[in-house]
Amino acid sequence: MNHPTTASSKGRINIVLTHKQNARTDAQQSFFHTEAEREKHYVLERIERELEQYVGLIEVKRLIKEVYAWLYINRCREEQGLKVTKQALHMIFKGNPGTGKTTVARLIAQFFREMNVLSRGHLIEAERADLVGEYIGHTAQKTRELIKKAQGGVLFVDEAYSLGRGGEKDFGKEAIDTLVKAMEDQQHEFVLILAGYSREMDYFLSLNPGLPSRFPIAIDFPNYTTEQLMEIVTIMLRERQYELSEGAKRKIREHVKRLRQEEGRSFSNGRYVRNMLEEGIRTQAVRLLQEGNYERRALLTLSEEDFPFENTNVRP
Ligand SMILES: Nc1ncnc2c1ncn2[C@@H]1O[C@H](COP(=O)(O)OP(=O)(O)O)[C@@H](O)[C@H]1O
Ligand SMILES: [Mg+2]
């Protein structure tokens, strides 16, 4: 077989083609010009295909290509005896709830494992309470334990700006100092992602002047438009093998449009859509049970009456 591999024990990029992915038929759509090139860069093709299943996320898609290219070219430079500069890959994710931050962090962790940047590629999700303790020294200990768990993977700190409040006496500062120290000592053993609302994150970074330069990558996760949310609805229902009646589609679009406006930045975007659909699925089940209707078409279809938005338990 003539699979071009660039495996190397010392190289940081280690691309081994274990199996051939279904080749893309539409060559024009691909970044690469030949089938051989596409095969060589199958890790990039794979993650790009995975990202295609997600709506929007333009910045993320661009960043992945950039990081892939940089790691790959570094590998080539190394082979030619050229200088290779290491770069930190720690990141800041800014955006409102449900805009895909955790989802993307998980994909990136996996991607870094495939690129041999991380040995395990798992994601440890944490928030203030997981890092901050109750007495002096407790915080450093808790934070170090978390960092240890994240070895070989990504440590994702949600609502990270909450570490910055409370002034000098607050233990949040101790958590930040411990994280920064670990970033220096264990630079290439874990990737740290700090996430949170855009404005709060900017303020948090401005309070900690040493921080921004340690996070060379910052990604904005914008709110989804109504049409993007409807696309997410379609994707989620396709996965679950359900369809919407025309009436349900219209009702959901109107409802989502209104919530986006009313809720502003606390609106939970993709998460709301998922919870709303799951409630709809349960409501449909009760309805079908009551109707005694177990026909295939009925089982497949969510209709208008399955979304009684005036009487819902789902938080926007
Ligand atoms: N671009 C997208 N396309 C499809 N589904 C999405 C997209 N963004 C988010 N979702 C879905 O919305 C939900 C919330 O996403 P999540 O990553 O947890 O958001 P965040 O971490 O920003 O709060 C998940 O079920 C996720 O699959
Ligand atoms: Mg999240």
Domains and CATH numbers, the chain: 1-85 (no CATH), 87-222 (3.40.50.300), 226-311 (1.10.8.60)
Ligand 1 neighbour 218 (Cβ under 6 A): no
Q: Which two tokens stand for residue 202?
A: 């900017």
Ligand 1 neighbour 100 (Cβ under 6 A): yes
> pLDDT tens for residues 263-305?
988 999 999 999 999 999 999 999 999 999 999 999 999 999 9
Do 215 and 92 contact (CB within 8 A), yes or no?
yes
Q: Which long-range contacts (CB under 8 A, 24 or more apart) does 248-255 make?
A: 248/280, 248/302, 248/303, 248/304, 248/306, 248/307, 251/304, 251/307, 251/309, 252/276, 252/307, 253/226, 255/307, 255/309
Residue nearest to atom 3 of ligand 1 (CA): 54
Ligand 1 neighbour 303 (Cβ under 6 A): no
Greatest alpha-carbon span in the chain = 73
| DSSP letter assigned to residue 249 | H
Over residues 108-120, the mean pLDDT reads 95
Q: Which amino acid is at 126?
A: A
Residue nearest to atom 23 of ligand 1 (CA): 98
> pLDDT tens for residues 179-232?
999 998 877 699 999 999 999 999 999 988 889 999 999 999 999 999 999 999
Distance (Å) from CA 107 to ligand 2 centroid: 13
**Residues 192, 147: Cα–Cα separation, whole Å:** 9
Please tell me the number of Cα atoms within 13 Å of 18 on its side-chain side: 4
Whole-number pLDDT of residue 26 = 44
Ligand 1 neighbour 55 (Cβ under 6 A): yes
Ligand 1 neighbour 51 (Cβ under 6 A): no
Crossing angle of the two packed helices 58-79 and 101-114, in degrees rounded to 10: 20
